[in-house]
Amino acid sequence: GVTNVKMIPDGSALFTKGMNMLVKKDDLGFGERSWRYSMYVVDKEIKKVFSEEGFGDNCPTDPFAVSDVDTIIKYLKESAKNE
């Protein structure tokens, strides 16, 4: 039942660089990667960013606690109640 959701690939990391979300994962053998985050965007305006803790070069962990779909759904449901 999900509508109006668009996954956007970023193969060249241009968007990631522009968002300042590029991190080095050389310690894991990956080079530069996108930090784990998700966003709620309406008409090209970023309404909310859900970024994992520990952002920085060579972060030893790969957290996945707040950029997940459940967090966004919870946020959207709470936002709808407040409108």
pLDDT at 78: 94
- The set of residues, in sequence order, having a beta carbon less than 8 Å from that of 54 and lying 6+ positions away, is 61, 63
Written as one string, the DSSP assignment of 15-68 is HHHHTT-EEE-GGGT--EEEPSEEEEEETTEEEEEEE-S--STT-S----SSSS
Burial label for 38, CB within 10 Å (0-12, 13-18, 19+), is middle
pLDDT at 57: 61
Is pTM beyond 0.85? Reply is: no
- Please say if the pLDDT value at position 19 is more than 80: yes
Work out the number of other CB atoms within 10 angstroms of the CB of residue 15: 14
